A and B are shown apart, each in its own frame.
Chain A
Amino acid sequence: MKVAGSYSLPVPPERAYAILQDPNVLAKCIPGCEGLDRVAEDEYAMRMKMGIAGISGRFDGKVRISGKNPPVSFRMSVEGAGKIGFMKGDGVITLSAADSGSNVQFEGDVQVGGTIANVGQRLIETTAKMIIKRFFDCLAHSVEQVV
C-alpha cells in the first residue's frame, strides 16, 4: 500500500531534520510507542502497541534511518512483528523551506500481514493516515513547546 502526504512544521528545515531523527521526540510522538532504544548508529529497537478493527497487540520491531542528506531528505524504514501479524514500512522524507517554517513531505510503502491484514484490511489505509497525522501533530506541538 502506498502512503504519501505532507505536513508543515513551524521550524526551519535544519531544525525539522534534527527533530525528525531525535529518538526522544520520536519515542514521544510515534503513536503507541512504548520504548525506543538505540541499538546502533541510526538504528533503534522499538516496542509499539497498535489496534485496528477490534484487534490490538504489541509489535517488536526496528526503526532504521538511512540515505541521510541533511537538511533535505532521509529514508526511514520501520518493521515490526507481533501476535497480530507483521508490518513493514519504508519511505523517503523530504524537507523544504516554507513561509511557516518547513514543509515535510513523505512518500512510501506500507505492507501488513497476518491477522491485521486478514481482518483489518479495509481500515488499514485510514488507520495508517491517522497514525501519521497524529505523529506530525505531536511533532508540531513538541516543537512549539520548545520554541
Chain B
Amino acid sequence: MATVIAKPEPLVGKSVRRREDPRLITGTAVYLDDMKMPGMTHAVVVRSPHAAARLRSVNAKPALDLPGVIAVFTGADVKHLGAVPCAASLPGLRVPFHHLLAQDRVYFSGHPVAVVVAADRYIARDAADLVEVDYEPSPAVADPEKALAAGAPAVHPEWPDNVSFNFHQDGGDIEAAFRDAEVVVKQRITSQRLIPTALETRGVLASWHAGEKSITLYSSTQIPHLMRTMVAGILGMNENKLRVITPEVGGGFGSKLNVYAEEALMAFISMKIDKPVKWVESRRENFQCTIHGRGHVDYFELAAKRDGTMLGLKLKLIQDLGAYLQLLTPAIPTLSVLMMPGLYKFKNIAADIVGVFTNAVPTDAYRGAGRPEATHGIERMVDILAAELKMDPVEIRLKNFVGNDEFPFATATGLSYDSGNYSAPLKLALQQVGYESLRREQVEARKTGRLMGIGISTYGEICAMGPSAALPAGGWESATVKIEPTGKVTVLTGASPHGQGEETTFAQIVADELGVDIDDVVVIHGDTAVVQYGIGTFGSRGTAVGGAALFEALQTLKAKVRKFGAMLLDAASVTLVGGECVDDATGKSVKFAEIAAAAYHAKKLPPNTEPGLVATHFWEPPNFTFPFGSHIVVSEVDRETGEIEIRRYIAVDDCGKIINPLLVAGQVHGGVAQGLGQALWEQAVYDESGQLITGELTDYALPKAHFMPWIESSHTETPSPVNPLGVKGVGEAGTIGCSPAVVNSVVDALSPLGVRHIDMPLTPEKIWKLIKGGRA
C-alpha cells in the first residue's frame, strides 16, 4: 500500500446534538394545527355521551340553521364507505364493522355520531351542540371480567358472550413441568388501562383537488404510507391519488400508529364540500376516542423446584379490547405471550388469551405494546417465587437466565433471542446501587419500623418490528440516498420518525459511511409523494430496521461512487474515505463533490454504469432484535401517608450498539417516566355505566417533571447480529423495565406486613390502606 489514509473520527457513538431541536425550541416547527389554507373550513365531531344506546334519530337541521355552518354529515352519509381497518388477524377473530360514523347504535362514550363543518372552529363547536340526537340508552359493561360473566350486557348484540377471540399457545411440556414442580406460585396481576396522552393531540387536514381528482391529507401520524393505502381503501379511491403528509408530530407512543375514522372522514368531507377541512382533536376527545393501552387481567401460575429452578409458566390473559378492533388491537396481547418467559431459560409455557369486547374506546399499541404487561407479569412472578422460597431475588434470576453460550436461544414461545449477556447489566446495576450495603441498611431500617424496599427487574424485550412474516403489511423498511450534483446528500426514509431524532442519527450514519460533513446531509420523511413506500416508526424499529435499510443503500451508493472515482483517477482500485476517493496505488485523490458532478454531468461514464448517484434499499430483517437490561428501584414508604419516595433509580440498558448516547438517554428517561406513570399514578377509569371518569388531565395523573426521580442511566453493549449496524432498539425499553422494578421495590418494603402483591397504580391511598389493614 503506497499511502496511509487518515480516517476521520466517526460520528456514530457520539452525543451529536439533535438537529431537530432548534425548530422545536424556537417554536418554528409546523404542527398540524399550525397549518392554514385558503378557504379552509373546520370540523367538529358530535360524540355520544352514552356508552351503549340505540340511535333513534339524528336531526342536523338546527345546526345547519346556524350562520356559518357549511354542512353536517351523519351515519347515513358514510354508510357506503369502508370500515376503519383492523389489520391483525387471528383464527376465528370476530371483527365488528367499524363504520366511520355510528349507524343504528353507539358502543362507547365518545362514539362519533356526526360531523359539523363550519367556516370557523368556534361556529363548528357551537353547532355541534345543536345537532339533536335521540338515544335510547341500554346497559353497558366496561370491565372485561364483568363482560365475560353470564348475563352481562352484550356490547355487540350479535355476539352475546362479548368474546372477540380465544387464542392458545403452548411450548414444551407444561403438564410435565407442573407434575415435576416442587412449588407452584399463583397470582392475579393486572395491567391497568392507560391513556397514551401524546403532547400533541391528533389532527387531520384534508384538501381535495377537483382538477386532479386527488386529495392531500395532512395527519399527525406514525405511518403515512400505510395510512395512504388504508384511507384510499376506505374511500374506494386509487392510492396514488392520495398524498399523505406528516407535519411535525408531537408524540405518538403508538396512539398514532393507527388509522382513525377522522382521517377518512376529513378526506371524504373535503371531497364533498370541495374545500379544505381541518379537524383537531381536543384533549377530552383524545382521552375518550384515541386508543388506550394495556387493559390486562392476567392469571399466572409458575412452577419451580425448591432450589429456585423455574420449570414452566401458565397464563390466562383477559384482554380488554374495547368496543372495536383498531389497527392492531387483537395482536397486542399475542406479543405479551411471546415475551412471557422473559430472560429465563425454562422451556414450558401455556397461554390462553380471551379478547373481550367492552363498552370502551379500543385498546391498541401503547409504548411497549404487550411487552410491559409480559415483563410485569414474569418479573412479579419471579419475585413472588423468590419470596416463597426465601431466596434473594438476584440469586433466583442469575440461576435461571439464559446463558451467554446459548445464543441464538430458541424460546418456548418460538422466538430466537439474537444475542445477550443477561447477567452483565444486573451485576453492573447491583454494583452501582450498592446492593449488599442496601440490604444491610434494610435490616436495620426494619428494626425501627421504616418501610424500605429494593426492587429488581431484569427485562427482555422484542424490538425491530419485524420480519415481514410477523407484520400484516410487511416488516421491512426503505431508504433512498441521493448524492446531489454538488455532493450534498439527501436521505429519504420510509420510517417516518416523530420525535425519535433520526434526522440526527441517520445523518451520523451517512456522514461516517460517505465521509461527508454531517451538515451536508438532509433527512426527509413523512411525505408519500416524495418518499418511497415505507412502513413507519413503531416497535423500536426506526434505527434497527430503517437504519439498516439506510446502511445498505449507502453500500450500494459507495460502490458506484468508487466506480466514478476510479474512472476520474484512472485507477485500478480506490478507497472512499474522508470525503474523497483515493487511488490505492498512487495516493492521488478526487473530492466527493467532483465525483458527484461527474456522475450527473455524465460526459464520461464507467463501464455498465448509469448516470446519477441514487440508491434505494428495501431491507428485510431476518429476525427481531432482543434488547435487555436491569432496573433497580430503592423506595421508602411513608407509614403515615402511604406516599412512596423513589430514593434511587438505576437503569442499565443493553440496546446493542449505540449510535447517539444523548438520544438513547432521552429514550430511557422518557420511557421510565411513562413506566413510573403506570406503576404509581396513571389509570383510565370507566364507571359502571361506561363513562370515562378520568376524562381530563385533572383526573388522570400524568407524571409531572417534579415527580421524577434522578435516573442513573448506563449501558452494556451487546451488538445484535440481526442487522449490519448491530443496533437493537431503545424506544420502549424504559417503559418495559420500569414498572416491575417499582412494584417489586414497594412490595419488598411492605413485605414485613405480609404484603405479597399490589396491583398498579400504587397510589398513596392504596398503600395507606394496606399499611392500616396489613393485607394485600
Report yes or no: B689 in contact with A118, Cβ–Cβ below 8 A. no
- Given the complex of chains A and B, what is the CA–CA distance between A45 and B74 in angstroms? 29
Question: What sequence of 0s and 1s flags, for each residue 564-608 of chain B, a beta carbon within 8 Å of any chain A beta carbon?
Answer: 000000000000000000000000000000000000000000000
Contact between chains at B699 and A121 (CB < 8 Å): yes
Is A122 a contact partner of B699 (Cβ separation < 8 A)?
yes
B109 contacts across to A, CB distance below 8 A:
113-114, 117-118
Say whether A136 faces chain B, with CB atoms less than 8 Å apart.
no
Q: Contact check, B689 vs A119: say whether CB atoms are below 8 A apart.
A: no
CB distance from A1 to the nearest CB of B (A): 8
**CB distance B284 to A121 under 8 Å?**
no
Q: How far is the CB of A85 from chain B (nearest CB, A)?
A: 5
Among B674-691, those with CB < 8 Å from A are 687, 689, 691
Q: Which residues of A contact B49 (CB under 8 A)?
A: 81, 85-86, 113-115, 117
Closest Cβ neighbor of B287 among chain A residues: A118
**B692 at interface (Cβ–Cβ under 8 A)?**
yes
Tell yes or no: A112 within 8 A of B by CB.
yes
| B698 engages A119 (CB within 8 Å) | yes
Contacts of A114 in B (CB 8 A): 49, 109, 691
CA distance A83 to B109 in the complex (A): 14
CB of A121 within 8 A of CB of B288, answer no
- Do B693 and A121 have beta carbons less than 8 Å apart? yes
Contacts of A115 in B (CB 8 A): 49, 284, 695
Instruction: Write the nearest CB–CB distance from B288 to chain A, whole angstroms.
Output: 7
Structural contact, A113 and B689, CB atoms closer than 8 A: yes
- Nearest A-chain residue to B50, judged by Cβ: A113
Min Cβ gap B50→A in Å is 6
When A85-B49, A86-B49 are in contact, do A117 and B687 touch as well, CB less than 8 Å? yes
**Complex Cα–Cα for A112 and B693 (A):** 10
- Smallest beta-carbon distance A34→chain B, Å: 18
Interface centre among A83, A86, A113, A114 (most CB of B within 10 A): A113
| CA distance in complex: A86, B133 (Å) | 12
Asked if A112 and B691 make an inter-chain contact with CB atoms under 8 angstroms apart, the answer reads yes
A6 within 8 A of partner (CB): no
In the bound complex, CA of A85 to CA of B137 (Å): 13
Is the C-beta of A111 less than 8 angstroms from some C-beta in chain B? Answer: yes
Considering only residues 684-722 of chain B, those with a C-beta below 8 Å from chain A are 687, 689, 691-696, 698-699
A90 to chain B, nearest CB (A): 13
B441 interface residue per 8 A CB criterion: no
- Interchain CA distance A119-B696 in the complex, whole Å: 6
Q: Distance in Å from the Cβ of B137 to the closest Cβ of chain A?
A: 8
Q: Output the least CB separation between B39 and chain A (Å).
A: 29
Q: How extensive is the interface on chain A, given as a class?
A: 10 to 19
Q: A85-B49, A86-B49, A113-B49 are in contact. Are A118 and B692 (CB under 8 A)?
A: yes
* CB-contacts of B98-157 with A (<8 A): 109, 129
B687 touches A121 (CB 8 A): yes
| Distance of A83 Cα from B132 Cα, bound (Å) | 10
Kindly provide the distance from the CB of B57 to the nearest chain A CB, expressed in whole angstroms. Answer: 14
Bound Cα distance from A114 to B691, whole angstroms: 7
Task: Give min CB distance, A27 to chain B, whole Å.
Answer: 25
For B51, give the chain A residue with the smallest CB separation: A113
Interface string of A109-147 (1 = CB under 8 A from B): 001111101110110000000000000000000000000
- Contact string, A91-116, partner B, CB cutoff 8 A, digits 1/0? 00000000000000000000111110
How far in angstroms is the closest Cβ of chain B from A69?
29
Minimum CB–CB distance for A41 against chain B, Å: 24
Q: Is the CB of B129 within 8 A of A119?
A: no
Tell me how far the C-beta of A28 lies from the nearest C-beta in chain B, rounded to whole angstroms.
29
The closest CB in chain A to the CB of B686 belongs to A117
Question: Cα distance A111–B50 when bound, in Å?
Answer: 11
Cβ–Cβ contact A111 & B699, under 8 A: no
Q: Which chain B residue shows the least CB distance to A1?
A: B687
Pick the contact of A119: B50, B51, B687, B699 (CB < 8 A).
B699
B689 CB contact (under 8 Å) in A81, A83, A111, A122: A111
Taking CB as reference atom, which chain B residue is nearest A53?
B698
Once the chains bind, are B693 and A117 in contact (CB under 8 Å)? yes
Q: How far is the CA of A118 from the CA of B49 in the complex (A)?
A: 10
A14 to B282, CA, bound (A): 52
A119 proximity list for chain B (CB < 8 A): 284, 695-696, 698-699
A112: chain B residues within 8 A (beta carbon): 691
Most chain B beta carbons < 10 A, residue from A81, A86, A115, A118 = A118
Task: Output the least CB separation between B428 and chain A (Å).
Answer: 44
Residues of chain B within 8 A (CB-CB) of A81 are: 49
Q: How far is the CA of A118 from the CA of B693 in the complex (A)?
A: 4
A55–chain B nearest beta-carbon distance, Å: 10
CA separation between A81 and B50, bound complex, in Å? 11
> How distant is B36 from chain A, measured CB to nearest CB, in Å?
28
CB within 8 Å of B: which A70-96 residues: 81, 83, 85-86
B174-219 CB contacts (< 8 Å) to partner A: none
Residues of A within 8 A of B696 (CB): 118-119
Chain A residues closer than 8 Å to B288, beta-carbon distance: 118
Of B284, B288, B689, the most chain A CB neighbours within 10 A belong to B689
| A118 in contact with B129 (CB, 8 Å) | no
Residues from chain B with a CB closer than 8 A to the CB of A122 are 693, 699
Q: Which of B479-499 contact A (CB under 8 A)?
A: none
Q: Which of B36-68 contact A (CB under 8 A)?
A: 49-51
Q: Which residue of A lies closest to B284 (CB)?
A: A118
A88 to B691, CA, bound (A): 13
**Interchain CA distance A122-B287 in the complex, whole Å:** 17
CB-based contact A83/B50 at 8 Å: no
B44 to chain A: closest CB distance in Å? 13
A46 to B699: give the CA distance in the assembly, Å.
Answer: 31
> A113 near B691 (CB under 8 angstroms)?
yes
Chain B residue nearest to A117 (CB atoms) is: B691
Closest CB in chain A relative to B678 CB, distance in Å: 21
Interface contact A118-B50, CB-CB below 8 Å? no
Q: How far is the CA of A86 from the CA of B109 in the complex (A)?
A: 12
Per the bound structure, the CA–CA distance linking A86 and B284 in Å amounts to 17
Q: Which residues of B contact A85 (CB under 8 A)?
A: 49
A87 CB, min distance to chain B CBs, angstroms: 10
Q: List the A residue with the shortest CB-CB distance to B48.
A: A114
Q: Is the CB of A83 within 8 A of B129?
A: yes
Residues of A close to B284: CB separation below 8 A: 115, 118-119
Most buried by A among B129, B287, B695: B695
For the complex, give the distance between the alpha carbons of A129 and B712 in Å. Answer: 49
Within 8 A of A (CB), among B75-118: 109
Note all chain A residues with C-beta closer than 8 A to B51: 113
Chain A residues with Cβ below 8 Å from B693 are 117-118, 121-122
Q: Which residues of B contact A53 (CB under 8 A)?
A: 698
Taking A113-B49, A113-B109 as contacts, is the C-beta distance between A118 and B691 under 8 angstroms? yes
**A117 CB contacts on chain B under 8 angstroms:** 49, 109, 687, 691-693, 695
- Kindly identify, within residues 618 to 646 of chain B, every residue whose CB is under 8 Å from any CB belonging to chain A: none
Shortest Cβ gap from A82 to chain B (Å): 9
Q: Give the shortest distance, in Å, between B138 (CB) and chain A (any CB).
A: 13
Per the bound structure, the CA–CA distance linking A1 and B120 in Å amounts to: 39
In the complex, what's the smallest C-beta–C-beta distance from B495 to chain A, in angstroms? Answer: 35
Considering only CB atoms, which chain A residue lies closest to B698 in the complex? A119
- CB-nearest residue of chain B relative to A57? B129
Distance in angstroms from B577 CB to nearest chain A CB is: 61
Q: Which residues of A contact B689 (CB under 8 A)?
A: 111, 113
- CB neighbours (8 Å) of A121 from chain B are 687, 691, 693-695, 699
* Most chain A CB neighbours (cut-off 10 Å) among B687, B691, B694: B691
List the B side residues contacting A111 at CB < 8 Å: 689
**7 tightest A-B CB contacts, nearest first:** A118-B695, A114-B49, A121-B693, A117-B691, A83-B129, A113-B49, A113-B691
Interface pairs (24), CB distance under 8 Å: A53-B698, A81-B49, A112-B691, A113-B50, A113-B689, A114-B49, A117-B49, A117-B693, A117-B695, A118-B109, A118-B287, A118-B691, A118-B692, A118-B695, A118-B696, A119-B284, A119-B698, A121-B691, A121-B693, A121-B694, A121-B695, A121-B699, A122-B693, A122-B699
Q: A114-B691, A117-B691, A121-B691 are in contact. List 6 more A-B contacts (CB 8 A).
A: A83-B129, A117-B49, A117-B109, A118-B288, A121-B693, A121-B699
